[in-house]
Structure 1
Amino acid sequence: MPLSATTSRSLVDQAIDGMRDLLADGEWTVGTRIPAEPELAAALGVSRNTVREAVRALAHTGVLEVRRGDGTYVAAANEVAAMMRRRVGRVDPQHVLEVRQAIETQAAALAAERRSEDDMRALTELMERRAAATAAKDADAFADADAEFHLGVVTATHNPLLIELYAGFEGNLRTMIHLGDETTDLADAHVAVFDAIRTQDPGAAVAAVTGLLHTLGR
């Protein structure tokens, strides 16, 4: 959709917002290459110079990554995720666990109150994928399913700011999830979180997440 120059905001700012919308809508996902300058300029209805400036700005924040001779790739879903991506890998894992507890306990309570049937179907599928990956001893599939389950819980809050904040952790969480750490207690803890959300019991959801993260931190 062509951008209008009649507002007080610059076309570069509007182009940046247009790209943010593509990221937020899931049309551009992390790891994918974005369209080339001419195509993007045509889609946004601006000049290639405007696109170039917008890309440069988003690359500076860490949302995009310009690879010389290869194109521009999505490095993070938004500026918050980009900041968390830089920070999480540099701090004590215990500090990460404490922040996760602060976010995930509240998220679990809200998810128990607000979850939809679609949310439960998604969480059910992720629990099944997690169990299947454990049985198959597939470390990569396990890390993906586990990280996506936790993000799925946050997604079930239907709070866009909370989802955006937690999404900043997700990429880093995958690198911290190891199939070898899986125990019966940890598997049971995930089931407890799932059951509390399914039965729409916020108190049980908070207790389940607290227990899960305590087990994880042992």
Structure 2
Amino acid sequence: MLQHAPRASLSNAAADGIRAEIANGRWAVGTRIPIEPQLAQMLGVSRGTVREAVKTLVSGGLLEVRQGSGTYVRSDVDASASLQKLRRASLRDQFELRCALEAEAARLAALRHTAGDLQQLRTLLERRGRAEDAGGAAGFVDRDLAFHLAIVGMSGNLALVETCRFVTGYIRETIAATAAIELPEPDEAAHRAIVEAIASRDPERAAATVRAFMAHISKALASATP
């Protein structure tokens, strides 16, 4: 029998119980989970609570409801739980992730970009401006993020694009952090160097330029980490 859910946050606890059964391999990907009354009995909650828990896990991509057949395990990776773990990562970890994603994106962009892509990137850099410009800190973060995500789009790699979309809010927080605390913010020249490296169609130069771009921030964060 599954461990009974506590009274507080019953739906969340029921969802956690189902997650645990999937994680420990009792319900493998592709198998049908017990029907609603059985789940309610196993979890010690009402059928309504089970329905809410299942909806949560369907939204997270863990379960799939097949009309007339039942509810099946779609994946053993809970995207919503993974995102929460990403958001709890240290600022240093966040920038290391950004560096890895954006260096590879720039490398691919150098190989695959079109003339139109490059013009768009230069336009976004001009719009980015400075933190002191109109729109305040929030507006600056939006413009900076648009520039960086455009590079990812230029990579032509759907998996990379979707990964970055998944962590867009997470990346936004890392950019905002450079304004919120005393971290070195790369200037316009550093951003322009990335554009020119991509324009050169030299993939290794493009990747190295992004890594150099991130190096000062990474060094500052390493010094601040106990």
User: What interval of TM-score do these two structures reach, taking the shorter chain for normalisation?
Assistant: 0.5 to 0.7
Per-residue CA deviations over 1:140-199 (Å, capped at 9, x if unaligned) read 111111112111111101110111112122212222323736867433221111111122
Are the equivalent residues in 1 in contact too, given 2:197–2:205 (CA < 8 A)? Answer: yes
Are the equivalent residues in 2 in contact too, given 1:130–1:142 (CA < 8 A)? Answer: yes
**Deviation for aligned residue 1:204:** 1.8
Greater Cα radius of gyration, structure 1 or 2: 2
When the two chains are superposed, the root-mean-square deviation of aligned CA atoms in Å is: 3.2
Q: How many residue pairs end up in the alignment?
A: 151
The one-letter code sitting in structure 2 at the alignment partner of 1:153 is: I
Are the equivalent residues in 2 in contact too, given 1:193–1:208 (CA < 8 A)? Answer: yes
The one-letter code sitting in structure 1 at the alignment partner of 2:102 is: E
Change (3 A) 1:185 1:154: closer
| Over 6 Å off, 4+ runs | none
Q: Which residue of 1 aligns with 2:162?
A: 164
**Deviation for aligned residue 1:92:** 1.1
Q: What SS does the aligned partner of 1:135 have?
A: coil
Change (3 A) 1:82 1:123: farther
Per-residue CA deviations over 1:101-139 (Å, capped at 9, x if unaligned) read 222211111101101123223212221121165433621
Distance in 2 (alpha carbons) for counterparts of 1:133 and 1:94: 22
- Counterparts of 1:1-218 in structure 2, within 5 Å, are 56=55, 60-61=59-60, 82=80, 85-131=83-129, 134-136=132-134, 138-178=136-176, 180=179, 185-217=186-218, 218=220
Are the equivalent residues in 1 in contact too, given 2:60–2:79 (CA < 8 A)? Answer: no
Distance in 1 (alpha carbons) for counterparts of 2:150 and 2:78: 18
TM-score, length basis structure 1:
0.58
Distance in 1 (alpha carbons) for counterparts of 2:144 and 2:82: 19
Identity %: 33
User: Is there any run of 5+ residues in structure 1 with no aligned partner, and where?
Assistant: 1-51, 63-78
Change (3 A) 1:169 1:137: same
Distance in 2 (alpha carbons) for counterparts of 1:172 and 1:82: 13
Are the equivalent residues in 1 in contact too, given 2:185–2:217 (CA < 8 A)? Answer: no
